[in-house]
Structure 1
Amino acid sequence: MPNVADSLWQHAAERPDAVALRTRDRQLTYRELARRCATFGGTLADAGVTAGDRVLLVAPTVPEFAVAYLGTQLIGAIAITMNTMATVPEIGYVLDDSGAQVAIAWHDAQVATRRAATERQLTFRSLAPGESPETAKPVSAPTPRHRADTAALLYTSGTTGQPKGVELTVGNLIDAARIFAEQFALGPGERFGTGLPLFHIFGQAVCLLPSLHAGGSLSMLAPFAPRAMIDLIRYHRLTVVAGVPTMWNAMLHNNDGYGPEHFDSLRLAASGGAALPSDVLHAFSRRFGCTILEGYGLTETTAVGTFNSAREQRTGSVGTVLPGVSLEIRDLDGHALPADTVGEIFLHGPNIMKGYWHRPDATTDTLADGWLKTGDLGRTDADGYLYIVDRAKDLIIRGGYNVYPAEVENVLYQHPDIIEVAVIGVPDDHYGEEVAAVVATTPGVYLEPTQLRAWAKQRLSAYKVPHRFAFVDHLPKGATGKILKRALDWDSLNHASGHEVR
């Protein structure tokens, strides 16, 4: 019977002195990591936590996150991970909804968690750098679990209604670790690195768990900063890095004086979370001298879905299905569509969530016969490569024509002075919706809207070209660096810097 921490336990026994985790100034071997996780698990057990109980963890990308997360897994409890910027009401909602018994928070981000836990008379624990409680009796071995047992609860963003807890099972997490370790060709001694938040599924299922599954090391950076990430790649001689498009773009704009010869250890960059503009993909590959591969997955799929292969990748595609995964493009009536036809993406496989915590109706709406309704629009080519068109809810219908924001954004990113862009639909009396672009430019550069529209019109059909523009210093982003369109208030933006071009 498996446990998510089995790989850690195995490598600690077989390769105890191999490095498991690194930061810029610290490292933990597999022996040390296993010991700290075992002691942390013992501390939770002393607090009355048993298999199936819920433990809230609020921490950044630091070794102590891994200690608490894997210590929770060792005793068979369920880890609930949350953003370090979460507020008291947000944390309180998750504590109430999940029925968590214990709340844990990083020492620099503990105020809101401590208050929410105290209000509910729950056990609270603060995490500090290097902390390893020695008073508890260490766990002697991972608690056996069933593959279908819930191992983690990750709450969705709640763009419609209250956030829902995505139940990921022991089998989901173990399979994801194995799949990505194989996809990235990870082996013992591999040096993986990321500045992604580990409280997000990308950080857990694509970075932390695959690295430990393979017996490699994971270099952690918190918070992400482009120059610091570049230094981490060089000084730790990383072989694989993972991030999102805004990270790659930021690194490109902060890489003066470096070329491929400075990153000779780096062979692969794994990208996800949002569409990767082709210009950014190619520029990053040239500058850093490595292959950058794009994939597609959701929290509900344990980040597993499709991925490009280093042997053959296709520009604009997020690759083919990963092992064990099935994919269909369906119409509004649920019928499978042929290749090169846009429809909603459905996924099936051992990576699919168990359901939404205590939300049977929401689970039924999203899962049918094991197939997950993703809410994303896409198409496949004749060889099964998936192309994401957009989120179904982001589709702009301008005068009866469908406009996919991701397509327009991909073109605008080709402009040399555009660093970030989000394309959204705004109400229009004549067309129903009009295409609007919120743009962040290179500092000190002013783009004249009429000229920018003329530039875009050479590359897009007329109905797809934005008529309205707003210019900002930077766009709002979530924990992973993904641009948050739902945080854009067009009325405020239009009042501050809006331009309409006809």
Structure 2
Amino acid sequence: MVTDLVDVVAEFPIARRALWDLLLEPQTYPRVFLGVGACERLHDVDGHPLLELRIGSPQTEIRLRQIRVVVGRWYESFELQCPGTSSFASVRLSGEGERTHVTITLFAPARIHPYVTQMSNGEVIDWARSGLRRAADLVRGTPTSVAVNAENSPVRLQVGVARQMMSSGVLTSRPDLAAKQLRGLAKWGFNLAGGYAAAAAHSPDRLALVADGSTRTFREMNDRTDALAAAMASVGLGAGDAVGLLSRNHAGMVECMVSAGKLGVDVALLNAGLSGRRIEEIVQRHRLSALFVDGDLEELVRYLHSDIPRYNTDGRPTSPEQATVEDLVATGGSEFRRPSQPGRLIVLTSGTSGVPKGARRPHPKGFGTVAALLSRIPMGMDETMLIPAPLFHTWGLAGLQLSTALRATVLLSERFDAEECLRKVAEHQASTMIVVPTMVNRILDLPASVRERYDTSSLRHVVSCGAPLAGATVLRFMDAYGEVLYNVYGSTEVSWATIADPDDLLTSPTTAGTPPLGTKVAVLGPDHRPVPRGATGHIYVGNHMLFDGYVNAAPPDEADGMLDTGDLGYLDAAGRLFVAGRDDEMIISGGENVFPRPVEEALAHLPQVSEVAVVGVPDHEFGQRLAAFVVKREGSGLDPDMIRSYIRNRLSRFSVPRDVTFLSALPRGETGKILKRMLVGGPTERTV
């Protein structure tokens, strides 16, 4: 057991001032010391900075500690004092040139940090020296920011995938059923068509889909998509063609994707939130041979050339003569030529910073995709999955593909409604919900009296992806619904990169997590070399599901088989990834690199703030400055000066937004992602 007094001595070949500057920077501690999940500056007390540290883990206990930083002699000594526990750490630096000697005296460390409670003095000394060594690596530029989960070891990966498939039950232990499953996959591949065929072989009468007003068993999905594929062939569609699918979440949309895949036809998943002009550009760029469109979305394609055939997907055609998916299924039979390659799905990028690009999704080459997600999100077989996230979005589509392997009954709704989601969870005892972050916020925004009407105790996995989750939102959700939240970081181009499970999020609420099975994540500098742990750089990802390229656009940068996500971030001491923001969002203000996301995170903790977005704008004096766009909660008395003062005390003067704009709502795309490019120069309620 650790004693009340521990002395730590270390020496490093770096300049004293460089290490001093790091140790006085609050963000250094969660980046280089294990067991520190977050560290934020609150305000000054008698001229001394007051920090709040999130310390520990769910296994050891998580504590919030307020630490006062008291500087003695500049560049020589300071203390980290915890008045609440009568504990402190005294830090002394000495040395000349490129040599620094560090002496730390820890008094009563077990009172402040649960991580060290069960350690011996020697283990505590090693823990402190390891953190100091990582800080020294930051100064020296040691290339340590690489996290790998079996991606570089084919044998280890294959063993891990096989173990995951057998332990999860994706592959049955019954030889006769397993053979039928594998025949379905061998026929159509590891895609939606193969997934439904394999599930139909194992559990033909189990419900596959429950959509608004309709249901489908796995047998019905397999048979109906055979018929629809035959009908598509009879109207002239075939391998090498591409069609557009403009639809909300319902059974007809899923059947179109599966049937086109069986026929070898590519499907461009059109975002229902796009303008008619943008859809016209996509139709021309992808040379689409036909369109499958919901009735209420027909107005978006009414000006397209009449030579492009259109079929109704939702059973609500705008004219009696328009053929519907149901009509095609009824006349299709089941015979069609099987293509050499199944059709691919083309998912549009979010277009938050410009024109959406079409990204060709690859065909999974085995069970690796399912194994990767299950390695971090332990979903069960034969359960119920609610997918309110749009299926034309990468994450909604990924949830649907995963559901076929798990033989899950999928609940779909054409439009998202927060209370309706809770009602469906309670009614169907759903265990998994696939969401985007704005849906998490909308559920929390419901009055407590509404949320308490529904029994959601069946939920074990609420899996969010598509945009960052604010730390305040993470903690509020888990306070309300338990430790069921998962945060997936990825993109249309790289599929998944990291997954944060509930333990990760309780420890560090803003983390994006760690790589799942078969994935490599690296944070690289401009020279494509890894930066040190804790240093910010470009996030690169490698896995077997990197996209097959854009349609008519140059691919992102590549390094050592990994793709650039376009995001900046860092890895902490535990190998958890943190995303700082898009590389084009970082601004340089007065010579300082400033990211919007820390400002957004800080403002999200204010109880008066419902939503916030921060962007960079030009500034004559400083080059660039931050501008904050805030949605206030009803009845709050928040004003711009309060926001500026709060950020000035929490972060730095360069992070203070000079412009504060109050809006009734933030502009969002159909998937819920904030469209920051629309904020600058857009309509406002009040600008200060």
TM-score (ref. length: structure 1):
0.91
Matched, 1:424 2:585: no
Coordinate RMSD, CA, aligned: 2.4
How big is the shift at 1:180?
Answer: 2.8
Aligned counterpart for 2:345 among listed residues 149, 152, 161: 152
The residue aligned with 2:442 is 250
Deviations 1:319-360 (A, max 9, x none): 11122121111112222212111000111121101111244x
Aligned counterpart for 1:408 among listed residues 569, 590, 599: 599
- CA distance in 2 between counterparts of 1:312 and 1:446 reads 34
Map 1:1-16 onto structure 2 (within 5 A). Answer: 1=186, 2-3=188-189, 4=191, 5-16=193-204
Deviations 1:190-211 (A, max 9, x none): 2111221111111101x11101
Deviations 1:384-432 (A, max 9, x none): 2111011000112211111111111011000111111000112221111
Map 1:15-26 onto structure 2 (within 5 A). Answer: 15-23=203-211, 25-26=213-214
Given that 1:376 and 1:392 are in contact with CA atoms closer than 8 Å, whether structure 2 keeps it comes out as yes
Aligned counterpart for 1:186 among listed residues 375, 379, 384: 379
Q: Give SS of 1:269's match.
A: strand
- CA distance in 1 between counterparts of 2:683 and 2:293 reads 35
Q: Give SS of 1:434's match.
A: strand
Judged with a 3 Å threshold, the aligned counterparts in structure 2 of structure 1 residues 272 and 135 are, in CA distance, closer, same or farther, namely closer
- CA distance in 2 between counterparts of 1:14 and 1:375 reads 41
Matched, 1:346 2:540: yes
Deviations 1:267-310 (A, max 9, x none): 111112111111111111121234211121000113x1111235
Deviations 1:144-182 (A, max 9, x none): 655xx7611123345666543211121279754553355
Matched, 1:27 2:215: yes
Q: Give SS of 1:34's match.
A: helix
Aligned counterpart for 2:471 among listed residues 269, 273, 278: 278
- CA distance in 2 between counterparts of 1:404 and 1:162 reads 23
TM-score (ref. length: structure 2):
0.67
Judged with a 3 Å threshold, the aligned counterparts in structure 2 of structure 1 residues 288 and 59 are, in CA distance, closer, same or farther, namely same
Matched, 1:399 2:590: yes
Q: Give SS of 2:650's match.
A: coil
Deviations 1:357-394 (A, max 9, x none): 244xx12x534553211110011123321110110001
Q: Which runs of 5+ in 2 are unaligned?
A: 1-185, 317-324
Map 1:340-379 onto structure 2 (within 5 A). Answer: 340-359=534-553, 362-363=554-555, 365-368=556-559, 370-379=561-570
- The amino acid of 1:342's aligned partner reads T
- CA distance in 2 between counterparts of 1:341 and 1:51 reads 48
- CA distance in 1 between counterparts of 2:487 and 2:481 reads 16
Judged with a 3 Å threshold, the aligned counterparts in structure 2 of structure 1 residues 340 and 43 are, in CA distance, closer, same or farther, namely same
The residue aligned with 1:333 is 527
Given that 1:259 and 1:288 are in contact with CA atoms closer than 8 Å, whether structure 2 keeps it comes out as no
Map 1:376-395 onto structure 2 (within 5 A). Answer: 376-395=567-586
Given that 1:477 and 1:484 are in contact with CA atoms closer than 8 Å, whether structure 2 keeps it comes out as yes
Aligned counterpart for 1:299 among listed residues 487, 492, 499: 492
How big is the shift at 1:468?
Answer: 1.5
Higher RCO structure (Cα 8 Å, ≥6 apart):
2
Deviations 1:54-94 (A, max 9, x none): 11100011121111111111212111101123333222211
- CA distance in 2 between counterparts of 1:161 and 1:252 reads 30
- CA distance in 2 between counterparts of 1:163 and 1:103 reads 18
Given that 1:150 and 1:170 are in contact with CA atoms closer than 8 Å, whether structure 2 keeps it comes out as no
How big is the shift at 1:450?
Answer: 1.3
Q: Which runs of 5+ in 1 are unaligned?
A: none
Q: Give SS of 2:225's match.
A: helix
Deviations 1:5-55 (A, max 9, x none): 111011112211111112354322112222222222122111221123211
- CA distance in 2 between counterparts of 1:70 and 1:142 reads 15
Map 1:83-482 onto structure 2 (within 5 A). Answer: 83-118=271-306, 121-129=307-315, 132-133=326-327, 134-139=329-334, 143=338, 145=340, 151-158=344-351, 162-171=355-364, 175-205=368-398, 207-257=399-449, 258-259=451-452, 262-302=455-495, 304-310=496-502, 312-313=504-505, 314-315=507-508, 316-359=510-553, 362-363=554-555, 365-368=556-559, 370-482=561-673
Judged with a 3 Å threshold, the aligned counterparts in structure 2 of structure 1 residues 215 and 172 are, in CA distance, closer, same or farther, namely same
Judged with a 3 Å threshold, the aligned counterparts in structure 2 of structure 1 residues 271 and 161 are, in CA distance, closer, same or farther, namely closer
- CA distance in 1 between counterparts of 2:313 and 2:478 reads 38
Q: Give SS of 1:374's match.
A: strand
- CA distance in 2 between counterparts of 1:97 and 1:491 reads 29
